[in-house]
A and B are shown apart, each in its own frame.
Chain A
Amino acid sequence: MLREVGLAILISGLATLAVLLVMSGQTVTSYWGFYGGTPVITSTLRGDQIDVMINGPIEVKKVEGYSYRVRVQIPAMRPQPIKPSFARAYLILSPNSKVDKVVRNELRDEGGFMRLIKTLEANEVASCDLLQGECALPIPTGKEVTLITVVRSKRGNQPYIIPDVVASLEAYIRPSRNQLIRALDAAAIGAVTVVVHYYYNKDEYSGLRSKLRNLVPLKRKGKEEKGR
């Protein structure tokens, strides 16, 4: 059994190494888009103008072998399609609950929208413009970040406006050195196990097994001749 287990470990190590190298640079996308303003939406109506802020935490901690980006887009404005005058996504390091409180207060005041933008710009890790379509923000690994999308639009004759924000997490596969070392380790352990098996079973290979291996075809041959 030692040889079979050794072979399985050896092949598993080498095959996993091959998969890691082949998949390197590929992207794994996970959609967890918050449609229509969930989990948190803050909306302020002032005259003909409406300001909307959507925020949600992204819990991306350090996962070995990947680098992450969040891709954001606003595919639609409800209830009717309107082109916003301002749409921008920000990634900030503060936890979601804290951000939510600050931002809600800012939006209540006259001129608070611009103050909110300045606050976000001062604290941002990364930001991008959503007016041109979708954009991607690199996420610093090992930290909890909050994604905030701010939209300003003319209200027109709409009673309310909800931007459908879709965010997707993209993980780029970048095998770490530790992963590659672990794969090679597994292959080495497998190889050593196989060698140890052969070393301790030298007699067996020259004994019963080889006898049986030679005898079984002879027996069959004998039977066939008898049959003739």
Chain B
Amino acid sequence: MRGSLRRKFREISIYQGYVHGIVVLSLVITVLIIVPIHSFILLNASASIRVRPTAMGGLDMFFLNFTSFFLSLTLIFAVATYSEELLSGGVTLALSHPISRTSYVLSWMLASLVTTTLIYFLSILIPLLIINPSLVEALKFREIFLKILEIFELGSLLFLISSIFRGRGKAIIVGLILYYFLPMISLFAISITLVPPHQRATPLLRVMLAFYPSYRTMLPINSSPWPATVLIALASWGLTLLYAKYRMEVRS
């Protein structure tokens, strides 16, 4: 049992290295763009921390939203590459080696979702530790956490959809809809349906916040949507792996 697990881990590790080789350039470009922006934000926030108790004001959150846009683009690119590999036949070559479909899909998920999110988190944490480690205590990480969680959860959902409906174009379109168009449409719908008192979340709003928890800061309500977001992400991972194991057809 232990030997089998170790072998599986080794398989995933090797194939993950291959996937990383594909996405590494986009990751490097993303880091090169976002780290200077994060450093600039932190340098400004750090200077005024003794004056303003909450250093991350509206402007800083704007920058954070701006850099998270690059993260979502990198993620869409990675998932689109995976989806294209399923369609083009690269997958048959990979699966001709002793690697299971689950391991193959799991390698892609780890490389495209976990690595990308981890690197985005590092791009905030490292400038923070260099410029002013005391900012770790001063900053409210809730907004940052919600944003990262949202991108990760949407990426997981995108991965599931891209496994079923293959092709780079489809993945990019679904990614753009999930990350940019749906939140805009949802916000518009909510602005029509939301009636005072605004403090109570309507069912539509609850569903929207489960998918887009970072929008909580923009709305005048007191609710904590992140457990539902985590559930959606976990469900997406589970369904993707089950689909890979039982339903994924590989055509050459």
- B interface majority secondary structure: helix
- Assuming A13-B126, A65-B131, A186-B126, is B119 touching A59 (CB within 8 A)? no
Q: Which B residues are CB-close (under 8 A) to A20?
A: 39, 43, 130-131
Q: Are A30 and B90 in contact (CB under 8 A)?
A: no
Question: Which residues in window 25-51 of B have CB below 8 A to A?
Answer: 27-28, 31-32, 35-36, 39-40, 43-44, 46-51
Contact: B36 with A18, CB < 8 Å?
Answer: yes
B220 within 8 A of A: no
Main secondary structure of the interface of A (DSSP, over half): helix
A121 within 8 A of B: no
A-B contact count (CB 8 A): 137
Cβ B36 vs Cβ A19 within 8 A: yes
- By the criterion CB–CB under 8 Å, are A212 and B18 in contact? yes
Interface string of A96-113 (1 = CB under 8 A from B): 000000000000000000
Contact between B24 and A3, CB atoms less than 8 A apart:
yes
With a cutoff of 8 Å between Cβ atoms, the chain B residues found around residue A18 in the complex are: 36
Determine whether B5 belongs to the interface, using a CB cutoff of 8 Å to chain A.
Answer: no
Q: How many residues of B contact A (CB 8 A)?
A: 47
B123 within 8 A of A: yes
Quick check: A4 and B119 within 8 Å, CB to CB?
yes
Set of chain A residues within 8 Å of B131, measured between Cβ atoms? 16, 20, 65, 179
Interface centre among A1, A5, A179, A213 (most CB of B within 10 A): A1
A31 to B162, CA, bound (A): 50
Query: Is the CB–CB distance between A208 and B48 below 8 Å?
Result: no
A199 within 8 A of B: no
- Kindly identify which residue among A179, A201, A215 contacts B17, using a CB–CB cutoff of 8 Å: A201
| Residues of the A chain whose Cβ atoms lie less than 8 Å from the Cβ of B130 | 13, 16-17, 20, 179, 182-183, 186
Could you tell me if A208 and B18 are in contact, using CB atoms closer than 8 angstroms? Answer: yes
With A and B bound together, what is the CA distance between A37 and B39 in angstroms? 37
The answer to whether A4 touches B43 (Cβ under 8 A) is no
Contacts of A208 in B (CB 8 A): 14-15, 18, 97
Interchain CB contact under 8 A, B24 and A4? yes
B126 touches A64 (CB 8 A): no
Closest chain-A Cβ to B109's Cβ sits at a distance in Å of 13
Q: Is B193's CB within 8 Å of the partner chain A?
A: no
B47 in contact with A30 (CB, 8 Å) = yes
Establish whether residues B40 and A23, one from each chain, have CB atoms under 8 Å apart when the complex forms.
Answer: yes
- Whether the Cβ atoms of A16 and B35 lie closer than 8 Å is yes
Which residues of chain B have C-beta atoms less than 8 A from A201's C-beta? 17
Instruction: Report the Cα distance A3→B181, complex, angstroms.
Output: 34
Alpha-carbon separation in the docked complex, A219 to B85 (Å): 12
7 A-B pairs with least C-beta separation: A171-B47, A28-B47, A12-B126, A19-B39, A30-B48, A15-B35, A8-B119
Query: 9 other contacts beyond A28-B47, A66-B47, A219-B92, with CB at 8 A cut-off?
Result: A1-B16, A8-B31, A8-B119, A20-B131, A30-B47, A30-B51, A65-B132, A209-B18, A216-B93
Residues of A within 8 A of B (CB): 1, 3-5, 7-9, 11-13, 15-20, 23, 28, 30, 32, 59-61, 63-66, 169, 171, 173, 179, 182-183, 186, 201, 204, 207-209, 212-213, 215-216, 219-220, 223
